[in-house]
Amino acid sequence: MMREQDLQELAELVSQQGPILSLYLNVDPHRRTSEEYKLALRQLLAQAVERGAAPADIERVERYFEHEYDRQGRGQACFSQNETGFWRAYTLPAAMGDRVHVGRRPYLTPLSDLWDAYGRLAVMTADSEGARVFIYRLGSLEDSAGTFGSEVKRHKQGGWGSQKLQRYEDQEARHNLKAAAEWADAYLRQHQVTRVILSATDGNLAQLREVLPRSLHDNVIGQMNVDMNATPAQVWEKAFEVATAAQRQAEADLLGEVVTTARKGGSAAVGLADVLAAMQQGRIYHLLVKRDFHQPGHQCTNCGAVTVEATESCPYCGGQLRASADVANLLVQQALDAGLQVSVLDASPELEEQGGIAAVLRY
């Protein structure tokens, strides 16, 4: 299981001796057979060779999938720098796009996106008598606990006495929910969990939200309804769907903010030409690019500047330009090597309108 310190280790890694091979492969058994993912792997490794990956790193990845990989999870990430003996392989809970990168730094965008969505996540399931909390780390159960209040019995007799008893039972149920919410808040703060999904029936969910402490309320990213007796695996399956939707919404909100800022003339850029210019000026803070976005262009053989315009010489240093089949990929590699934030977004009408690429600028 991947840990937060593993991601930090990769983020701090910068190779001074040779390129690092980063590879992501979709191995979701619901989407691909073993023959299909092996074919995709061969294609990725062929691309890695074209991008200058060391033969020893290619062989290390091949050896892993031939002899060590156990076909668990939905995604697989591998990082290799054989010259220094560096090798890491992680089985991941979510399927992701196939991707290969060769550069001084590991390509971490898919991993960081995955961690943002599923890295450390809690589910609080509640009813009128108590609550359970499950804490997951990348889909694996890390901890769990529960609390229960007084039993609430529903009576079916009619009359005034029954109405009075019903009100008492409703008050008791609300008291149990409030106590459970306070307990869950303390438990999650103790475990330093800041992303929570609530699970309850519609009626209980509305009451639960009313009694949540502010610190817990602000950490809720979604809601669902699973049985209180569901297994941790069953709870995670539903939570995975909710967390995925929350991540997509967060990406859409970020893109919307960038587009609005750019339209107002603020610190944002949209469209490949403007983003390339901002990169050359060293102004990019966070790059947003559509998944599988490709665009031909040119790169300077002297200063490395990337441009989409076919000028006679580099507009920045006057150096010679050479054609590139995919300047978008060059831009992403430059951003990663510079340690910038990069978010790979699913296609959307708004992103298409902006040419498939945008950026948050430093100034």
Based on the fold, state whether residues 31 and 97 are members of the same structural domain: yes
DSSP state of 64: I
Distance between CA atoms of residues 166 and 153, nearest Å: 9
Residue that finishes a domain, picked among 247, 276, 311: 247
Residue 162: the pLDDT is 57
Pairing of strands 130-137, 86-92: unpaired
Residue that finishes a domain, picked among 84, 116, 148: 116
**What pTM was estimated for this model as a whole?**
0.74
Looking at residue 217, which CATH number applies to its domain? 3.30.420.60
Give me the sheet containing 120-127, strands edge to edge: 140-148, 130-137, 120-127, 196-199, 220-224
Based on the fold, state whether residues 153 and 220 are members of the same structural domain: yes
3-state secondary structure of 168: helix
Based on the fold, state whether residues 57 and 156 are members of the same structural domain: no
DSSP state of 85: T
pLDDT single digits (tens) 73-119: 889 999 999 999 999 999 998 888 899 989 888 888 788 788 878 88
Based on the fold, state whether residues 160 and 50 are members of the same structural domain: no
Tell me which residue has tokens 């009075």.
164
List the structure tokens of 152.
């609430």
Based on the fold, state whether residues 11 and 104 are members of the same structural domain: yes
Q: Answer whether residue 253 is part of any domain.
A: no
List the structure tokens of 154.
């529903």
Residue 155: the pLDDT is 45
Q: Answer whether residue 261 is part of any domain.
A: no
| Residue 39 amino acid letter | L
Q: Are 220 and 193 in contact (CB under 8 A)?
A: no
Based on the fold, state whether residues 10 and 52 are members of the same structural domain: yes
Angle 233-236-242 from CA coordinates, rounded to 5°: 160
Based on the fold, state whether residues 123 and 84 are members of the same structural domain: no
Residue 152: the pLDDT is 46
Bridge partners, residue 324, by sequence: 297
Contacts of 352 (CB under 8 A, 6+ apart): 290
3-state secondary structure of 246: helix
Residue that finishes a domain, picked among 78, 98, 116: 116
Based on the fold, state whether residues 180 and 290 are members of the same structural domain: no
Distance between CA atoms of residues 349 and 272, nearest Å: 16
Structural domain for 169, as ranges: 119-247
Q: Answer whether residue 103 is part of any domain.
A: yes
pLDDT single digits (tens) 9-25: 988 888 888 899 999 99
Based on the fold, state whether residues 19 and 105 are members of the same structural domain: yes
Q: Answer whether residue 236 is part of any domain.
A: yes
For the chain, the domain total comes to 3
Residue numbers in the chain where pLDDT is lower than 70: 1, 149-170, 173
Residue 72: the pLDDT is 83
Based on the fold, state whether residues 275 and 211 are members of the same structural domain: no
Secondary structure in 3-state letters for 285-341 = EEEEEECCCCCCEEEECCCCCEECCCCCCCCCCCCCEEEECCHHHHHHHHHHHCCCE
Q: Answer whether residue 254 is part of any domain.
A: no
Looking at residue 314, which CATH number applies to its domain? 3.30.1330.30
Based on the fold, state whether residues 323 and 285 are members of the same structural domain: yes
